[in-house]
Amino acid sequence: MGVYLSTPKTDKTSDDGENEKLRYGVSSMQGWRTSMEDAHAALLDLDNSTSFFGVYDGHGGQAVSKFCAKYLHQQVLKQEAYAAGDIGTAAQKSFLRMDEMMCGQRGWRELAILGNKMDQFSGMIEGLIWSPKGNDLKGLNDNWSTEEGPHSNYEGPACGSTACVAIIHNNQLVVANAGDSRCVISRKGQAYNLSKDHKPDLEVERERIYKAGGYIHYGRVNGSLNLARAIGDMELKKDKTLPPEKQILTANPDINTVELCDDDDFLVLACDGIWDCMSSQQLVDFVHEQLKTESKLSVVCEKVFDRCLAPTSGGEGCDNMTMILVQFKKPQSQSGPSTSTSHSHPPSDSSNDQEVPGSD
């Protein structure tokens, strides 16, 4: 049976929400995989002017994706750049901060809990022989390295996760991405990619991998991962002479900033389990068609899963599936479409899908 079940788990976990500007629906489904390693975050009101949506596709376990879903948006708020209005820099620093936080005693403990690795008995034993020092377990203290214990030298998780987040601040949309999950916007029915799928065969990824002493074998980094950027996977980030953004694998995200306009219909964030089966334009067309008769956005996401699910195990349509659909409730601005990009590379241009007009 390998990594697949004999029959797929098609139960879906879904949610919906709205505020005065946005409606969203989110759903996730395990499918043919033996475990569910996706996680997500959907916060309409990160603060009084900002919404945050993120999809995290785990590999090798669920701990890192769950860690990101729990902490990444919190870190965005804590960055000095966020207070200064530089949301792109705040997002970038928060991605890199995830790797830092997952090392050491507190990182080990959080990952053990989130990954269901600490059973009740071992947890009791740990509690009896060890108590944290110099740390606030309620999370108010952000200095994770101060927590002491038997795993203080823990170098971080062997599993990892993609991260693709969309931060909507007033009329500004900031997309940060590391990995092969994808963010797409529908503008007058046309699909525009707001993120690039970070595959090892991309020139900029391949160059970094080789310079850091890594290699690519059958499209996989060091013969292991079929993506070139991810949070976690610390065994591929061990060169102490290199900064985080130049490691064999990096959590450093591409950042794309877009000014929303009246032509924008909706936004989609989804893991590669969706994009393996549908192009960005195909998904946008499918969503538009469903919205003619279905008003509940999570149900639209569920119908996407049913459309993508393979009839038998193996190949496309067998991955975990997670999708967030964000609909703009009213006009965002009176200006025409304009975009700007920062921090690294422009949006991806996979298959026949397009970049937002004006992207560098």
* Listed range (23-37, 125-139, 208-222) with the worst mean pLDDT: 125-139
Residue 19 included in any domain: yes
Residue 290's pLDDT is: 98
CATH code of residue 9: 3.60.40.10
Residue 210's pLDDT is: 97
| Whether residue 178 sits in one domain with residue 126 | no
Residue 122's pLDDT is: 41
| Whether residue 42 sits in one domain with residue 20 | yes
pLDDT at 345 over 50: no
| Whether residue 167 sits in one domain with residue 38 | yes
pLDDT at 234 over 80: yes
For residues 142 and 355, which has the higher predicted lDDT (pLDDT)?
Answer: 142
| Whether residue 182 sits in one domain with residue 112 | no
Residue 9 included in any domain: yes
Residue 216 included in any domain: no
Q: What is the pTM of this model?
A: 0.88
Q: What's the domain range around 136?
A: 104-154
User: How much of the chain, in percent, has pLDDT values that exceed 70?
Assistant: 84
Residue 351's pLDDT is: 42
| Whether residue 125 sits in one domain with residue 168 | no
User: What is the strand order of the sheet 354-355 is part of?
Assistant: 4-18, 22-33, 321-328, 264-270, 182-187, 190-193, 354-355
Residue 179 included in any domain: yes
pLDDT at 319 over 80: yes
User: How many domains is the chain partitioned into structurally?
Assistant: 2
| Whether residue 88 sits in one domain with residue 20 | yes
pLDDT at 133 over 70: no
Q: What is the mean pLDDT of residues 116-141?
A: 45
